[in-house]
Amino acid sequence: DARVTQTPRHKVTEMGQEVTMRCQPILGHNTVFWYRQTMMQGLELLAYFRNRAPLDDSGMPKDRFSAEMPDATLATLKIQPSEPRDSAVYFCASGLAWPNEQFFGPGTRLTVL
Amino acid sequence: DAKTTQPNSMESNEEEPVHLPCNHSTISGTDYIHWYRQLPSQGPEYVIHGLTSNVNNRMASLAIAEDRKSSTLILHRATLRDAAVYYCILSTDKLIFGTGTRLQVFP
């Protein structure tokens, strides 16, 4: 049963620290998406990749957030430095060519104190 | 991206059909209509999608109006497990989530 995996599942850190979240997309999927969910803003698209190339990162605060795909089996989302307002659940999703369904991971719950 | 309008919440009894409406009067010709749902404490889950014709799968049916300005997600027999937030999304290449409809299912 192929699934998107995300690590860590929970992360508590202090303001100013670097946070790295990892995502393993489903094998063979060529698109990867990063979302953030908060009570206030709901689900927001941060960035997405196709064939490892970034296509759109307009939803991401550029000064502190960065997203990469070092290889086809790993996507990373980094926050440096982290701030309390970054506290949220971060979801990764993967899929095949549009408009096929996206498969979401279980999320990383980030708390920045 | 075109916008969608959904009721904030709906209620249903178990084993009854549920019709979840979505208005999208500014839909463009290339916009697909996607439905996802999010169960409590989980990531969103794909339900169904379509372009112009009605669609059926094992989870639900999608009825699309002839002018494509509205659509309805149909759950044929609601179960307690169907209690979730249902999102209707239009897009050509990416998903932009709105606030969705929170469905409550009563035994």
Contact A42 B99 (CB under 8 A): yes
Residue A68: predicted pLDDT = 95
Confidence of residue B2 (pLDDT cuts 50, 70, 90): low
Residue A30's pLDDT band (cuts 50, 70, 90): very high
- The predicted model gives B60-64 an average pLDDT of 97
Angle (CA) B42-A6-B35 rounded to 5° is: 40
Lowest mean pLDDT among A3-12, A18-27, A83-92, B88-97: B88-97
> Exposed, middle or buried, B8 (CB in 10 Å: 0-12/13-18/19+)?
exposed
CB < 8 Å to B99, chain A: 42
Q: Is B97 on the interface with A (CB under 8 A)?
A: yes
> What residues in B contact A99, CB-CB < 8 Å?
32, 34, 49, 51, 91
Q: What percent of chain A is predicted at pLDDT more than 90?
A: 88
Contact call for residues B80 and B14 (beta carbons, < 8 A): yes
pLDDT bracket for residue B3 (50, 70, 90): confident
Which residues on adjacent β-strands are paired with residue B89? B34
Model confidence band, residue B1 (pLDDT cutoffs 50, 70, 90): low
Question: pLDDT (tens digit, 9 = 90+) per residue, A57-104?
Answer: 888 988 999 999 999 999 999 999 999 999 999 999 999 988 889 999
pLDDT digits (tens, 9 = 90+) for B5-52: 999 999 999 999 999 999 999 998 889 999 999 999 999 999 999 999
Interface contacts A/B by beta carbons within 8 Å: 43
From chain A, pick out residues whose CB is under 8 angstroms from the CB of B3: none
Q: Between B38, B43, B94, which is nearest A48 by CB?
A: B94
Cβ of B8 under 8 Å from any chain A Cβ? no
Q: Which of A51-60, B3-12, B75-84 has the lowest mean pLDDT?
A: A51-60
Q: Tell me if A92 sits within 8 A of A76, measured CB to CB.
A: no
Contact A104 B94 (CB under 8 A): no
- Token readout for B83 is 């209690």
Interface test with A, best of B38, B57, B94, B101 (most A CBs within 10 A): B94
C-alpha to C-alpha distance for A37 and A43, rounded to whole angstroms: 4
Mean pLDDT of A35-62: 92
B52 CB near a chain A CB, below 8 Å?
Answer: no
Find which of B39, B93, B99 to mutate to test the A interface (most A CBs within 10 Å of its CB). B93
Decide if pLDDT at A1 tops 80: no
Residue among A42, A99, A104 whose CB faces B45 most closely: A104
Instruction: Tell me which of A97-106, B43-52, B59-68, B76-85 is least confident.
Output: A97-106
Q: What is the pLDDT of residue B14?
A: 97
Contact A3, A93 (CB under 8 A): no
Q: Can you name the residues that pair with A71 across neighbouring β-strands?
A: A74
